[in-house]
Structures are given as C-alpha cells and as structure tokens.
Structure 1
Amino acid sequence: MAAPLASWASRLAEAELSHTLPRRWAHTKGVAGRAAELRGILGTDAELLVAAAALHDVGYAPRIVVTGFHPLDGARFLRDEHGADRRLLRLVANHSFALLEAEERGFREALEEEFPLLGEPLLVDALVYCDMTTTPDGERTTASERVAEIVGRYEEDGPVGRFIRRAAPEVSAAVERVEAALVAQPR
C-alpha cells in the first residue's frame, strides 16, 4: 500500500459502504473521526487506530457478507483480498467485544483461531471507545446511550441483544479507561 494506512482504509470503507449502506458509512466516518482525536494518547499506533475505525464495519457490505457476522467477514475480506496488516485484521475482527457476539453466533473458535485478540489493551479499548460513543448516524453519544440504542434495535433474545447486554459492563469500563487516558495526557 503506497498511501498511508488510514487514507487507504477510508477509501476502501467508502467504496464498500457509502452507496449500499449510507447510514453505516455515516457511522463509520464518525468512528474514524473519533479515532483521529485520540492521536495524543496512541502515539505511533494512531494511524492504525484510524484505519481500524474506518474498516471496523466493512463486513456489513453486501458483497463481503459470507457468514453474516460482520467482524469475521470484514477481517477475512481484508486478509484475503487486500493482504492487510495483521494487527489491523485483529482489531477489525475483535472490535467492541466481538468475541462475545461470536460466542452467541457459534463463531468463537473460528474468530480466536484466525484472528486472536490483540494484546494491546489501550489500542483495543480505543476502538471500543470510538465505536461505542458514536451513533448510527455518526454523531457523538455516551456509551450507555449507545448500548441502549443497540438493545432497542435488536431482538432481546437474538444474538446481538444477548451479546450487547453481556458486553455492556466491559464497554463502559473500556470507555472509562480511554477517558482517563485522555484526561491524563500531557497538554
């Protein structure tokens, strides 16, 4: 990839989402914008976070859907069609506690085997923060409002409904850790 990683990721996400899923594209742009705001706490990993934020929902694109589980479909697409960076793949595959949803959908083993969770807590938390403080329309929100919005959008007993209720305490904790890092950063 000749272009910087974040620029490439944004162009790819736009190509896959903007026409077929404009609301998902609005969310994606908002998440990537939030990621850019975290440059001060991520240093050299800031570009990777912005790229992961731009691509975190690419697996929703109709031409990419294989399993119907967007984190896995997106990461496989990025690996198989684009030879994407391994850390980027692991962030996309595991964004926002996807492992819990994978368990609900019967994909936990595949996700863990193909894309193990990245052992970089601040980077993982930062992607959760960006995704879970951005509405479906790309606006800012709180983590609790975002979780409530997701709960309201999906069937309570469906895999997403069960997953998000299980993940809610972890989402809140991740957002709090990032907010604490933002407050603590040198000015």
Structure 2
Amino acid sequence: MGLTAWAYSLSESLLSDPLPRRWAHSLGVAKRARSLSPLMGDDAEVLEAAAVLHDIGYSPAIAATGFHPLDGARFLRDREGADDRVVRLVAHHSCALLEAEERGLRHELESEFELERPDLVDALLYCDMTTTPDGTQTTSVERLDEIVQRYGPDTIVGRFIQRAAPEIHAATKRVEGRMAEVSADDQPM
C-alpha cells in the first residue's frame, strides 16, 4: 500500500466514526494539499499524507495528552512507524509550538520532533488554515475568526490562534505567492 492510501485508511479508521466533522475537515485539507502538487513536486505525496493525518491526535482511541499534534505524532511514530517527514509535519502543523507553549508542552514537542522544511510546514499550515471544519475552502482570516468564535478568545486555543495569526497569514501569503509563480511559469509566452 502506498503512503497516501495508507494515510487515508488510517485517518478514516481513527476519525470517521467518532469525529465525522474532523474527518470531513481532514479530507478537505488533503484536497487542498493535492491542489498544491504543482508546487510540491516530489514532496506532494508527503504533504498529502500529512494533511489527511494532521488531526488524528483528536481521536479518542489515541488521545493521551489532550494536545492533538503531539498525540498524533507520537502515535504515528511509536505505533505506526510512519515516515519521519509525515510525523514531523503532523507534530508541528499550524504553529503547534505556540499552542504547546500555552499547554506547557513546548519542551516535549521540540525535543521529540524536529521541524520539517519551512516550505512544507507553510504548505500544511496553508491547507489547514484555508479549510473549514466541514472541509470546504475558506480564507485564513475567516478560518481564524471561526476558531476564536468556536473556542472562545480566552481559552488555550483562542489565545494560541490569536498569537499565531501573523505567522498563519504570512505563511498563507507565501504559499499563494509561490502558487502564482508556478501558474505564471505554466502560461504560454
């Protein structure tokens, strides 16, 4: 079984029944990742696999610390022997270090999982932060507003996402800029 087929199967087994909305979101994030294939080249498969797996740490079957990037990455590393790059992307998706700091888990996340290449980190962040909880496309501004409203501005998630907003918007712009360059390069002269 190939990397992406395995990733979809695993994510579905962990999310579709207990967390169908989270599963829909994960499918939408993976769809966004596929749309970046022209930009990602040889890394497209790694990005798509990480995209569909990024929220598995929410699954009641594997949640341990209550911090889904750490729980998901540990499960992928320890129980699944997953590709190291996929594990690192799941661990650090969408400014996870800032949320880890809010939760008192930054040292654990940093010491256990190295950061992946910045362009891949940006790409996964873009896919996650431009996809609604139901799996449809949105803007990073609308997505952040939705997260703050859903969790509340004074919760751990609300505080973290507000702190992360400048980096989320910057990463979104970087990815959109790179996509525009690739599109322009594909235009006939």
TM interval, short-chain normalised: over 0.9
Q: Which residue of 2 is the match for residue 96 of structure 1?
A: 94
Structure 2 CA distance for aligned equivalents of residues 97 and 179 of structure 1: 18
- Give per-residue Cα distances to partners, 1:109-131, cap 9 Å, x unaligned: 0000101211x111110000000
**Alpha-carbon offset, residue 6 of structure 1:** 1.1
> What are the residue-to-residue correspondences of 1:140-151 with 2, within 5 Å?
140-151=137-148
Structure 1 CA distance for aligned equivalents of residues 131 and 20 of structure 2: 15
- Give per-residue Cα distances to partners, 1:23-68, cap 9 Å, x unaligned: 0000000000000010101110000000000100000000101000
Q: Which of 68-77 and 151-160 deviates more?
A: 151-160
Q: 2:41 aligns with which of 40, 43, 67?
A: 43
> What are the residue-to-residue correspondences of 1:1-187 with 2, within 5 Å?
3-118=1-116, 120-185=117-182, 186-187=185-186
Structure 2 CA distance for aligned equivalents of residues 123 and 94 of structure 1: 11
- Give per-residue Cα distances to partners, 1:45-92, cap 9 Å, x unaligned: 000000000100000000101000000000001011100111111100
Count of residues in correspondence between the two structures? 184
User: Partner of 1:146: helix, strand, or coil?
Assistant: helix
User: Partner of 1:82: helix, strand, or coil?
Assistant: coil
User: Partner of 2:125: helix, strand, or coil?
Assistant: helix
Unaligned runs of 5+ in 2: none
**Alpha-carbon offset, residue 155 of structure 1:** 2.7
Name the aligned partner's letter for residue 168 of structure 2: V
Q: Which of 3-12 and 46-55 deviates more?
A: 3-12
Q: Which of 148-157 and 40-49 deviates more?
A: 148-157
TM-score by length of 1: 0.97
Unaligned runs of 5+ in 1: none
TM-score by length of 2: 0.96
Structure 2 CA distance for aligned equivalents of residues 135 and 9 of structure 1: 20
